[in-house]
Amino acid sequence: MEPLTVPATLDDLEILADFVIQAARAAGLEKKPAYRLRLAVDEIATNIVTHGYQEMGLVGDITIYADMDEETLTITLEDNAVPYNPLEEAEVTEEDLHKPLEERKIGGLGIFLTLRGVDRFTYERMNNRNCNIFTMRRPSSGANP
């Protein structure tokens, strides 16, 4: 699939979602992993728009790439907002997840769902750009589930 660049606004996130759904279909992902990948990409893209651009008073783009080989599907999000490593966000612990909702903190669930949803998640800062890389094993690869 050809990479796609969209304005970094909440209104344009559904274009990224459609791109991921198409890539997941092309890679033959089952319904559940396809949904989880879409969720993972959406969580990070939402953070890029709100924390990377809007809260800093910046305007910009997000570029999405899909790369496939026999074993994996890799989705990459690239932006030139402020450096933002989602992995440095305070992680939600198992203990947090078992707390009653009255005592829950409001943040941190997005990155938890991202990490849970994909087989591998990587963040890199390259050439003044943030790269968020999501990798899924394809079912035909016969790898472990």
Partner 1 sequence: MKISSSTQNDVVLVTLEGDVDGKTAAQVQQEVLPLIPEGGKMLVDLTQVPYMSSAGLRTLLLIYRQAQGKGSKIALSGLSEDISDTMEATGFLDYFVVANDVASGLEALA
* Site of interaction with partner 1 (CB under 8 A): 10-11, 13-14, 17, 31-32, 35-36, 38-39, 42-43, 46, 49-50, 97-102, 104, 106, 109-110, 112-113, 116
Pick the closest to residue 70 from 144, 145, 138, 2 (CA basis). 138
Could you write out the DSSP letters of every residue in 122-133?
EEEEETTEEEEE
Do residues 9 and 48 lie in contact, with contact meaning Cβ atoms separated by under 8 Å?
no
Q: Specify the residue, 54 or 67, whose C-beta has the smaller distance to partner 1.
A: 54
Opening angle at CA 110, ends 92 and 67, nearest 5: 125
Tell me the chain's radius of gyration from C-alpha atoms.
15
Pick the closest to residue 60 from 51, 73, 71 (CA basis). 51
- Position 41, amino acid: V
Q: Specify the residue, 10 or 69, whose C-beta has the smaller distance to partner 1.
A: 10
Q: Specify the residue, 113 or 131, whose C-beta has the smaller distance to partner 1.
A: 113
Q: Specify the residue, 67 or 108, whose C-beta has the smaller distance to partner 1.
A: 108
Rounded least distance, CB 111 to partner 1, Å: 9
Rounded least distance, CB 30 to partner 1, Å: 12
Rounded least distance, CB 96 to partner 1, Å: 8
Rounded least distance, CB 72 to partner 1, Å: 22
Rounded least distance, CB 90 to partner 1, Å: 14
Do residues 84 and 130 lie in contact, with contact meaning Cβ atoms separated by under 8 Å?
yes
